[in-house]
Structure 1
Amino acid sequence: MTDQLIARRDFAVAASVSWWRDAVIYQIYPRSFADANGDGIGDLPGIRSRLPYLRELGIDAVWLSPFYASPQADAGYDVADYRTVDPVFGTLADAEGLIGDAHDLGLRVIVDLVPNHSSDQHEWFRRAIAEGPGSPFRERYHFRPGRGADGELPPNDWPSIFGGPAWTRAANPDGSPGEWYLHLFAPEQPDFNWDHPAVADEFRTILRFWLDLGVDGFRIDVAHGLVKAQGLPDLGVETQWHLLDVGVSPCFDRDGVHDIYRSWRRILDEYPGERIAVAEAWAPTLERVAAYVRPDELHQAFNFSYLGTAWNAAEQRRMIDASLAAMRAVGAPATWTLSNHDVVRHTTRLLQAGEGEDGEVAGRRPTEVDPAAGLRRARAASLLLLALPGAAYLYQGEELGLPEVVDLPPEVRQDPAFHRATGQDGYRDGCRVPIPWHGDRAPYGFGPEGGPSWLPQPESWARLSVAAQQGEPGSTLSLYRAALAVRRSHPGLGAVDDLRWVEAGEGVLAFDRDGFRCTVNMSAEPVRIARPGDVLLASGPTEADPDTVVLPPDTTVWWNV
């Protein structure tokens, strides 16, 4: 065993028990974080070079979106080899070095796992196609004959999340039309058949491979999608799923997924240091989500219900209560997040309300908003989130107050759903634009000066870079650093599930947590409140006298009480 592996094992053994219950975890989208080799795409060496920045920010762990070998049909969520790093991101040695460096800095590393589907370039699928009908490798996916006189129609009426049917017809080895295969996402992402024992065996070995390299956990992509209803029955109605609200269906959130995660939990528990698994589970209710984090299953599940909650005091309070109650029932921590690589950045999204003219729910199709107003509301929302009991997930660049990029030209977009008429909207590129580090022109330190970036960065981002905000007392970066420092040091913010509501007037949300109070003005007007104690931190300027404080709209204050 190498010295590096010994150091990793020591780090895991020394890890505090249940560190994940109130951790702050920072999502890195590798291709957009830092580019070390100047090809315009972020990579593992680039991430490794920026780990001290993340340590200074005050987070506990990083979550890395996929960096495995992939044709990149869906930005790495189409995996061709789960045990190899794609050359665009570096090497396996780079991954080992990143994990080791993170551990040296006291940071844990969570990696993405994509078990619902593979790439169509995965060895299994390539053999399934090459060998034709009857190949044993076809049993590891969902191949079916088509309907109609000549098999020209898909086997059922399921739609793809990315638009169009969830089936593509394969060609036989002789070139003639053949069977159809299932893909709930892009055609380049065929779904695994989790009823086949080889699939379960393969992923157990993949888990061990990365655990042996020292990772501290996994974020499970499409955790709710692995098991499909027996017989793949028709929906029977014309529908179109969206990643944010797939609802009850024959291919999502089936009870059979829980046996898979119980087997994974047993593997995770074999390793020292509280290795964890986090479910990306979209389910119809919070109670269904909570089923993924029962004591013998996974550790956390993303709270997408909270992410989609309107900026309204009554709705926020209702969702916070419901989230805590659902997780408390199974002994799990709540999780809170406002942005990720699949949704409009909350600096833009939270200022949108209701539905657009085409019936689209606000925030899915981003529109330009007042930058100052959007940032003000985003800062207030971020302080609220970081005050809640449980674990918090941050998305790279939100600590800089980055807005959604809403004006990317069609020719640069790479979201596979963008050019489809229906389905997932195809607007995810706007939250994936590479983040700015320093300088007054693109790529703003993302890569070498004057070099490319895989998506263009706005000119306005020069003033939002890390260097531009470094040491500025009123900057969003300074706010996040201060908030994470208070969260780490204040005794009232350490418990998992203590929250007591305080009545503070219409449109105002307030709660106590053992010597700590959070007050948020979500109304459209300034409100005057009695001063409950000393101010720890505020998301924006306030007016105060010895006894009262005036909170402007979209302002959050933390108090020591």
Structure 2
Amino acid sequence: MSVDSVISATAALAGPLTLIHDADKAPGWWRSAVIYQVYPRSFRDLNGDGIGDIAGITEGLPHLADLDVDAVWLSPFYRSPQRDAGYDVSDYCDVDPIFGTLGDFDIMMAEANRLGLRVIVDLVPNHCSDQHAAFQAALAAPAGSPERDMFIFRDGSGPEGHEPPNNWQSHFGGPAWTRVIGPDGQPDQWYLHLFDSSQPDFNWDNPAVHAEFERVLRFWLDRGVSGFRVDVAHALVKAPGLPAWGGRADGGSSDGFPGHEAPMFGQPAIHDIYRAWRLILDEYGPDRILCAEASVDLPRLAHWVRPDEMHQAFNFPYLHAGLDVYRLRSVITDSLTVLDAVGAPSTWVLSNHDVVRHASRFGYNGSGPRDGDGIGPADQQPDTELGRRRAAAASLFMLGLPGAAYLYQGEELGLPDGIDIPEGMRQDPTFARTGGERLGRDGCRVPLPWSAAEPHLGFGSGQQPWLPLPASFKELARDVQAATPSSHLNLYRRTLAARRELGLGRGSLAWAEEWCTGSSLGFVNGTTLVLMNLNHEPLEMPAGDVLLRSADPESGHFLASGETVWLQLVRGDTE
């Protein structure tokens, strides 16, 4: 069957099609990869101290290979006081003892290589820990010294400099400036920290900072990593003069303050940094990648993934689109259009370590929790069954899209957020800096359940986990789901296997207009129709062979509310 015949037959079954993205033939494993995020302290605890470790990751890698992912992304495991779960780095070239040693890392890398899994590590270049040797040297040095020039120190404003240099606010609440005591014991300058006060921002106007991070890149590339996820990749360079900003602390748009004007984000000079980094990665071969965590609007996102800069950028507009079919269609169309224009693949993501898990977010019929706030016992509770059903549908829909996909550990189990976390156990700095007004992100970071019959559900056999596992996790444990054909885990396994077999990550996308309504959304990728029903009523499916359904096929040829299906529309040789 010719390509034209396939298109014609597909349209006859799916109805009118609007093509927005052609199949991807460019080289690069990352363009269609499924990458699994490991949050080390919550993955698996092998030494029994209640915190996950590198050895636990090594132990769990065969399960990820069995899931059929292409790569693993590790959240920070570097030396750190752990004020912000490792995003406050005190040594970028060593493993924190709570996770193990560099030797443990090398063993993990060898196991990943044996299993055919690539490893991507987190890089945190905007800020470090206040315990980092460079910042300690800056504290001991006078104003105007080379040591202080590694960071953003400024004199205060107002009488005797008692007020911060400007009005910038921290992402975690409160001012983005902290005053230090000088070497003479007197109040001295202020330093900038867009996040916690224990996380001073580097001064990327200083060439010495560039040189230090180029050293760090080479250190991990020499150990065999396949690339870096770059934390807050849009924040490194600040506008000259640090002008005042009356908008949101995170740089998001608000009335009168469009995000593209935020002086602490998206400055043009930032792209020279990533061009230099790209040259370094290219020295190690064409398969090493950079992925930007750049929380910017879609038109600007393309600036991070131009051919000489990064390879990928997280698609936060997609994550935040929720289950609004109009918004989803708009975001998907805009993403593919904008990124195709610069020859970059899109990435799709539903959960990560910074947001309420989508199995909980989708458990509300009205408005759910705000990003970064979490869900507590006193809040309106999500409908667990509804949330997991919709999460399965959303995941099956997302994994049918062309491009790369990121999975957050535990989403393949359909895990919800942990809600009943005692205040004394909460560790997110947002909780402390807002006096408990915002719960923070601990709920999505609760450890994984591996075995229903083991202590701590198999996460670790020693001390109590650093965050408590909910009792409901017992029935969601990996061993229970592995033995249940209709489980969330086995849906992910079948979906990822079919995605690879059908080549959907390299595929095309055309909207199936007949199925794009106010309560359903359908697209064709190659010859596969992906259709999600968000109506309260069942939806009769078009003709075609059912490849996958996100729920048990109790509704026959009808797609139930909150269900997604993959239909094979055409069979035959398309060469």
Give TM-score, length-normalised by structure 2. 0.90
Distance change (3 Å), C-alpha of 1:424 and 1:92: farther
Is residue 227 of structure 2 the alignment partner of residue 217 of structure 1?
A: yes
Q: 2:138 — aligned with what?
A: 128
Name the stretch that deviates more: 246-255 or 516-525.
246-255
Is residue 130 of structure 2 the alignment partner of residue 117 of structure 1?
A: no
- Supply the distance in 2 between the matched residues of 1:140 and 1:443 (Cα, whole angstroms): 44
- Deviation per CA, 1:91-122, whole angstroms, max 9, x where unpaired? 11111111121011000000000000011011
Deviation at 1:412, TM superposition (A): 0.6
Q: 2:46 — aligned with what?
A: 36
Is residue 310 of structure 2 the alignment partner of residue 298 of structure 1?
A: yes
Deviation at 1:369, TM superposition (A): 1.1
- Supply the distance in 1 between the matched residues of 2:71 and 2:251 (Cα, whole angstroms): 26
Distance change (3 Å), C-alpha of 1:153 and 1:384: same
Q: 1:274 — aligned with what?
A: 287
Helix, strand or coil at the partner of 2:458: coil
The question of whether the paired residues in 2 share the 8 Å contact of 1:442 and 1:457 is answered with: no
The residue identity in structure 2 corresponding to 1:120 is D
One of 264, 269, 274 as aligned partner of 1:256:
269
Q: 1:416 — aligned with what?
A: 429
Distance change (3 Å), C-alpha of 1:220 and 1:426: farther
Deviation at 1:498, TM superposition (A): 3.6
Deviation at 1:291, TM superposition (A): 0.7
Deviation at 1:513, TM superposition (A): 1.5
Distance change (3 Å), C-alpha of 1:372 and 1:38: same
Is residue 100 of structure 2 the alignment partner of residue 87 of structure 1?
A: no
Q: 1:553 — aligned with what?
A: 561
- Supply the distance in 2 between the matched residues of 1:152 and 1:441 (Cα, whole angstroms): 56
The question of whether the paired residues in 2 share the 8 Å contact of 1:441 and 1:462 is answered with: no
Is residue 415 of structure 2 the alignment partner of residue 405 of structure 1?
A: no
Helix, strand or coil at the partner of 2:93: strand
Helix, strand or coil at the partner of 1:474: coil
- Supply the distance in 2 between the matched residues of 1:362 and 1:151 (Cα, whole angstroms): 35
Distance change (3 Å), C-alpha of 1:279 and 1:362: closer
- Deviation per CA, 1:193-245, whole angstroms, max 9, x where unpaired? 0000000011111111111110001000010000000011112x3x4424876
- Supply the distance in 2 between the matched residues of 1:74 and 1:48 (Cα, whole angstroms): 24
Q: 1:13 — aligned with what?
A: none
- Deviation per CA, 1:50-69, whole angstroms, max 9, x where unpaired? 11000001100000000001
The question of whether the paired residues in 2 share the 8 Å contact of 1:161 and 1:423 is answered with: no
Helix, strand or coil at the partner of 2:178: strand
Q: How does 1:374-523 map to 2 (within 5 A)?
A: 374-421=387-434, 425-440=438-453, 442-448=455-461, 451-491=463-503, 493-504=504-515, 505-523=517-535
Distance change (3 Å), C-alpha of 1:354 and 1:363: farther
Deviation at 1:133, TM superposition (A): 2.1
Q: 1:4 — aligned with what?
A: none
Name the stretch that deviates more: 309-318 or 423-432.
423-432
- Supply the distance in 2 between the matched residues of 1:63 and 1:477 (Cα, whole angstroms): 19
Q: 2:5 — aligned with what?
A: none
- Deviation per CA, 1:272-328, whole angstroms, max 9, x where unpaired? 251000000011x20101110000100000000000003122221111111111111
- Supply the distance in 1 between the matched residues of 2:367 and 2:564 (Cα, whole angstroms): 27
Q: 1:75 — aligned with what?
A: 85
Helix, strand or coil at the partner of 1:77: coil
Distance change (3 Å), C-alpha of 1:377 and 1:130: same
Deviation at 1:452, TM superposition (A): 1.5
Helix, strand or coil at the partner of 1:387: coil
- Supply the distance in 1 between the matched residues of 2:240 and 2:337 (Cα, whole angstroms): 33
The question of whether the paired residues in 2 share the 8 Å contact of 1:418 and 1:425 is answered with: yes
Helix, strand or coil at the partner of 1:180: strand
The residue identity in structure 2 corresponding to 1:503 is E
**Larger RCO, structures 1/2 (Cα 8 Å, 6+ apart):** 2
Deviation at 1:361, TM superposition (A): 4.2
Name the stretch that deviates more: 174-183 or 388-397.
174-183
Deviation at 1:471, TM superposition (A): 2.8
The question of whether the paired residues in 2 share the 8 Å contact of 1:376 and 1:540 is answered with: yes
The residue identity in structure 2 corresponding to 1:304 is F
Deviation at 1:17, TM superposition (A): 4.2
- Supply the distance in 2 between the matched residues of 1:551 and 1:416 (Cα, whole angstroms): 43
Q: Could you tell me which runs of 5 or more consecutive residues in structure 1 were left unpaired when the two chains were aligned.
A: 1-15
The question of whether the paired residues in 2 share the 8 Å contact of 1:64 and 1:109 is answered with: yes
Distance change (3 Å), C-alpha of 1:363 and 1:156: closer
Superposed CA RMSD = 1.9
Between the two proteins, the alignment pairs up a number of residues equal to 534
Helix, strand or coil at the partner of 2:268: coil
- Deviation per CA, 1:146-184, whole angstroms, max 9, x where unpaired? 111111000000001111000000011232111100000
Is residue 541 of structure 2 the alignment partner of residue 541 of structure 1?
A: no
- Supply the distance in 2 between the matched residues of 1:158 and 1:164 (Cα, whole angstroms): 9
Query: Where does structure 1 differ by over 6 angstroms across 4 or more consecutive aligned residues?
Result: 243-246
The question of whether the paired residues in 2 share the 8 Å contact of 1:240 and 1:422 is answered with: no
The question of whether the paired residues in 1 share the 8 Å contact of 2:356 and 2:371 is answered with: no
One of 214, 217, 223 as aligned partner of 1:207:
217
- Supply the distance in 2 between the matched residues of 1:298 and 1:49 (Cα, whole angstroms): 31
Q: How does 1:139-288 map to 2 (within 5 A)?
A: 139-235=149-245, 237=246, 239-242=247-250, 247-248=259-260, 249-283=262-296, 285-288=297-300
- Supply the distance in 2 between the matched residues of 1:334 and 1:424 (Cα, whole angstroms): 35
The residue identity in structure 2 corresponding to 1:555 is E
- Deviation per CA, 1:451-488, whole angstroms, max 9, x where unpaired? 31000111111110001111311100000000001011
Q: Could you tell me which runs of 5 or more consecutive residues in structure 2 were left unpaired when the two chains were aligned.
A: 1-25, 570-575
Helix, strand or coil at the partner of 1:181: strand
- Supply the distance in 2 between the matched residues of 1:250 and 1:426 (Cα, whole angstroms): 28
Name the stretch that deviates more: 422-431 or 397-406.
422-431
The residue identity in structure 2 corresponding to 1:453 is P
- Deviation per CA, 1:115-142, whole angstroms, max 9, x where unpaired? 0001101111000101232331100100
Name the stretch that deviates more: 299-308 or 366-375.
366-375
- Deviation per CA, 1:247-286, whole angstroms, max 9, x where unpaired? 2310011111111111111111111251000000011x20
Helix, strand or coil at the partner of 2:565: strand
- Supply the distance in 2 between the matched residues of 1:175 and 1:24 (Cα, whole angstroms): 53
The question of whether the paired residues in 1 share the 8 Å contact of 2:374 and 2:442 is answered with: no
- Supply the distance in 2 between the matched residues of 1:174 and 1:332 (Cα, whole angstroms): 53
The question of whether the paired residues in 1 share the 8 Å contact of 2:149 and 2:203 is answered with: yes
Distance change (3 Å), C-alpha of 1:334 and 1:202: same
The question of whether the paired residues in 2 share the 8 Å contact of 1:348 and 1:404 is answered with: yes
Give TM-score, length-normalised by structure 1. 0.92
The question of whether the paired residues in 2 share the 8 Å contact of 1:389 and 1:499 is answered with: no
